[in-house]
Structure formats: C-alpha cells, structure tokens
C-alpha cells in the first residue's frame, strides 16, 4: 500500500511538470503577440508602476505627483527661470508680456502670441503672424495644440492650474529687447546671453507633428527599428543643409570626407539623400548639429536606439538638462565643436560595442521612453504653468461687456480660435462677440 501511495504522488508530480512544460510556450507566444516595443524601456516603465496605455507608454493623465516621480530632472528649465526672477527680486508684469515690440509701423516680423489660462481652460488673447504666415503657423498652431493637450491632461489628473497670462515667441532666435524686462515662452535660449535668463523654454513644435506624421507615430516607428549596436549599419549618419550653420556643418562634412565610418551628406546638394526619421535609426551612430540657433534634430535622433554624438552646445532646449556626458548615467557621446576628436571616439565605440550599448540603453530609458513621450511633454507644460505663476502677475480674466450681457472672458477659446482663418490682432469686444456668439452665455 505504501509503495502504491508513493507511486501516485510521483504520478501527480510528473503530470504537473508536463502541464507546465506544455503551457509555457503558449504563454510566451501570447505575450509576444502584443508586439511590444523593443529595448530596455519596457522594463523601466513597469518598475515605475505608472499607468500605461495600449502602446505601453505612460498615460497622459498623470497626477501632479506622478509627473514628479515619472520625470525626475525634466523640469529643470522651469525651476531655473523661476529662480532667476526670485533671485533678482522681480516679477513678470502685464507690460512684460506685451508683444507689440515684435512688429513695427510697417508690420515687421512677428511670430508672437499671448495666451490666458484660467479654470483649466486655454484662451488666445492675441496672435501676430501665427495664422497669416505659413512658416509661423507650422510652429504656433502645434504649440497651442500641445498646450491644450497639457491642460486636458491636468484636468484628467485632478490638477487645478493657476490663472496666468503669457507671451509666446516661435522664432529660432528669440532675443528679448535688451533694454526691457520682457519675458516670454520660446523654444530655446542662448547659454551666453544674459537677457535669455528671462526666457521660459517650451517643447519644440516637432513634439506635436513632424513631416512624417504625429510625433508619437514617428517615435514608435523609431522603436520598431531597434536592433543591437553591432547589427546596425556600422557608420555615423548625418543629413542636413550646411548653409544653416556653415562653420559648424561644413567642418563636420570635412571631418567625415572619405572616411569609411561616415555617411554625411548635405541634402541641399543632393536631395535624393534625404532620409525619413526612422530610416536614420538603421545606423549604429548619429550626429547632432545645431542650426540657426538650436536644432530640433536632437529629439528626433533620440528616438533611435543608436549612439548619438553631440558637439559642445551654445543653445539649450527644454530637455537638455537630462543629457549626461559621462558616468554611469551617460546617454550620449560629447565631442568638440570643431569635430577634431570625432573619429577617435567613433572608432572607440565601434571597437567597444558593449560600452555603446550601455549609453544607448540610458538614452532610451530617460529620453525616448519618458522625457520625449506625450506624457512627458504634457507634464512639462503643466509644471511650466505652475512655476510661471509663482513669479508672474495675476491677469484680468473678464473683459468689459455691454449692458445686459453676461460676463465674458477675455480672448477666444482654443476651440473657437482653431476655426479661424486669420490672426487675432487685438481684444476687440465686438469682434470677439461675433466670433464666439453673442448669445453663447458665460463661456
């Protein structure tokens, strides 16, 4: 009898092991069927215990506390600008957000707008050459859409945004008047100009849409090109137009001329050499160059799991504080602005692919998976609104109305503005009534 019981126990144990072996491949296959993004980003997102969407990206509905925990270090530029005003014992006034200095009697360049945020709603107060100019429209409208998305994100996350009025300039080089105290939001600031300490940085318009589609689509296409460093094209890639910054870009082209490791082409000279953003990801290495001032290419390059080489920078953008040139968190390779050490460093990493993979992993974890995500962009705007409010005036929310009318807020709602075909040049009461509807009631 004892031998029979022992045999039965052994039979049950054997049956359990066989069942586990049979089910294991099925479970693994089902998991892989979701076609998850490749690379280390997935493990880092899981460990953060943040809610994920259908694409396994962080959802764009985080609470304010979740924004802080999800994106450490991303909000440096907000803190820097706010601290500048606190240290100088000044604050932003109504006059400081005036944008008339951007256009003169003959209607010179503008690319400027003023916005109002109140009660978690975005309103547009004034725009100059934002819609009427095709070039500026491609910058200003995406920025407004990102800002509206951030306001919606805050509402979904249970965050009450403060009331603010701000000016926005969408030029590559946004120099404030030297003798004034103007302060505005813009894409980049010089690291050497004192007047640029008054500027507040916002994500580049490319963070909303690029030539190949929505930024999130481009981001996912980049991830689809993920491959080990040694299995990618063993060259450094650069595409661009040299005329944008002749000294810097011409010297890069010279540094790579005739080199087996370089694939550098001036696309103004050879239009057929232009590549889609995800096609750049087929290369093991890529090179970033500044343009007229900053360049939006660094964000696009960071969508690849490739090794990025960055020269000494003269301009900074909203996420550049996250760039780490050395140490265990290194996520790019720094090179001199004259490119004299580029070949040496490229050869080093081609000979040491494990080192390259570590740097690439850090970049994917910090930049592509987090800071450059939709949630990262919205959280940045939300922190910007909060930080800006601490050193800025509290604006008037309502405008004068005619007798018998209900109170009406200044400017146009985001939704109404997006249906316009012309710029909103001033806060004309009669015009605003027509645009939003005199009988609309309180808006």
**Token pair in block for residue 398:** 């309502």
- Shared-domain flag, residues 195 and 226: no
Q: Is residue 41 part of a domain?
A: no
Distance CA 50, CA 65 (A): 11
Q: Is residue 200 part of a domain?
A: yes
- Shared-domain flag, residues 172 and 231: no
Task: Give the contacts of 89 (CB within 8 A, at least 6 positions apart).
Answer: none
- Shared-domain flag, residues 184 and 285: no
- Shared-domain flag, residues 162 and 257: no
**Token pair in block for residue 80:** 């820097």
- Shared-domain flag, residues 231 and 179: no
Distances, alpha carbon 371 to alpha carbons 42, 227, 343, 436, in Å: 14, 21, 30, 36
- Shared-domain flag, residues 252 and 190: no
Distance CA 107, CA 257 (A): 45
- Shared-domain flag, residues 239 and 346: yes
Is residue 45 within 8 A of residue 52, CB to CB? The reply is yes
Is residue 289 within 8 A of residue 245, CB to CB? The reply is yes
Q: DSSP character for 125?
A: E
- Shared-domain flag, residues 131 and 187: yes
Distance CA 90, CA 93 (A): 9
Q: Is residue 425 part of a domain?
A: no
Distance CA 304, CA 55 (A): 17
- Shared-domain flag, residues 300 and 177: no
**Token pair in block for residue 147:** 């800002």
Distance CA 293, CA 289 (A): 10
Q: Is residue 417 part of a domain?
A: no
How confident is the chain (443 residues) per 10-residue block, as mean pLDDT? 43 43 35 31 49 93 98 99 97 96 68 97 95 89 98 99 98 90 98 97 97 94 98 98 97 98 96 94 99 97 98 99 98 99 99 99 98 98 99 95 84 94 76 59 46
Domain residues for 298?
216-317+320-370
Distance CA 69, CA 389 (A): 22
Report how many domains make up the chain: 2
- Shared-domain flag, residues 126 and 271: no
Q: Is residue 429 part of a domain?
A: no
- Buried/exposed 262-288: b ≥16 CB within 10 Å, e otherwise: bbbbbeeeeeeeeeebbbbbebbbbbb
Q: Is residue 39 part of a domain?
A: no
- Shared-domain flag, residues 366 and 226: yes
Q: What is the pLDDT of residue 223?
A: 97
Q: What is the pLDDT of residue 420?
A: 86
Q: DSSP character for 313?
A: P
Q: pTM for this structure? A: 0.86
φ, ψ (nearest 5 deg) of residue 315: -130, 155
CB atoms within 10 A of CB 222: 25
- Shared-domain flag, residues 231 and 360: yes
Q: What is the pLDDT of residue 15?
A: 44
Distance CA 346, CA 429 (A): 61
């Amino acid at each position: 009898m004892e031998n029979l019981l022992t045999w039965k126990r052994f039979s049950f144990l054997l049956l359990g092991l066989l069942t586990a072996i049979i089910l294991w491949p099925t479970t693994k296959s089902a998991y892989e069927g979701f076609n998850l993004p490749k690379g280390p980003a997935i493990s880092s997102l899981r460990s953060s215990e943040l809610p994920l969407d259908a694409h396994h990206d962080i959802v764009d509905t985080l609470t304010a506390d979740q924004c802080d925990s999800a994106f450490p270090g991303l909000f440096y530029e907000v803190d820097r600008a706010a601290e500048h005003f606190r240290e100088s014992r000044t604050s932003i006034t109504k006059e400081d957000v005036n944008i008339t200095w951007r256009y003169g009697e003959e209607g010179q360049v503008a690319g400027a707008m003023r916005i109002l945020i109140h009660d978690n709603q975005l309103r547009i107060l004034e725009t100059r050459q934002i819609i009427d100019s095709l070039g500026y429209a491609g910058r200003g409208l995406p920025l407004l859409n990102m800002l509206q998305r951030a306001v919606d994100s805050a509402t979904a996350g249970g965050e009450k945004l403060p009331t603010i009025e701000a000016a926005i300039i969408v030029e590559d080089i946004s120099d404030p008047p030297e003798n004034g105290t103007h302060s505005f939001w813009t894409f980049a600031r010089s690291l050497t100009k004192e007047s640029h300490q008054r500027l507040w940085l916002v994500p580049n318009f490319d963070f909303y849409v690029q030539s190949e589609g929505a930024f999130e689509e481009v981001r996912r296409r980049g991830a689809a090109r993920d491959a080990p460093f040694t299995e990618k094209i063993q060259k450094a890639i650069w595409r661009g137009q040299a005329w944008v910054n002749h000294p810097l870009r011409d010297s890069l082209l010279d540094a790579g001329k005739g080199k087996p490791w370089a694939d550098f082409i001036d696309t103004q000279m050879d239009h057929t050499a232009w590549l889609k953003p995800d096609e750049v990801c087929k290369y093991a290495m890529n090179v970033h160059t500044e343009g007229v001032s900053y360049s939006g290419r660094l964000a696009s390059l960071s969508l690849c799991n490739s090794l990025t080489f960055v020269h000494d920078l003269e301009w900074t953008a909203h996420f550049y504080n996250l760039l780490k040139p050395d140490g265990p968190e290194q996520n790019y390779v720094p090179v001199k602005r004259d490119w004299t050490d580029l070949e040496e460093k490229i050869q080093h990493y081609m000979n040491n692919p494990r080192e390259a993979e570590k740097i690439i992993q850090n970049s994917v974890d910090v930049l592509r998976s987090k800071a450059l995500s939709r949630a990262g962009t919205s959280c940045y705007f939300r922190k910007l609104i909060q930080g800006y409010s601490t050193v800025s005036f509290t604006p008037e929310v309502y405008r004068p109305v005619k007798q018998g009318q209900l109170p009406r807020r200044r400017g146009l709602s985001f939704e109404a503005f997006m249906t316009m075909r012309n710029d909103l040049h001033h806060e004309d009461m009669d015009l605003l009534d027509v645009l939003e509807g005199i009988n609309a009631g309180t808006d």
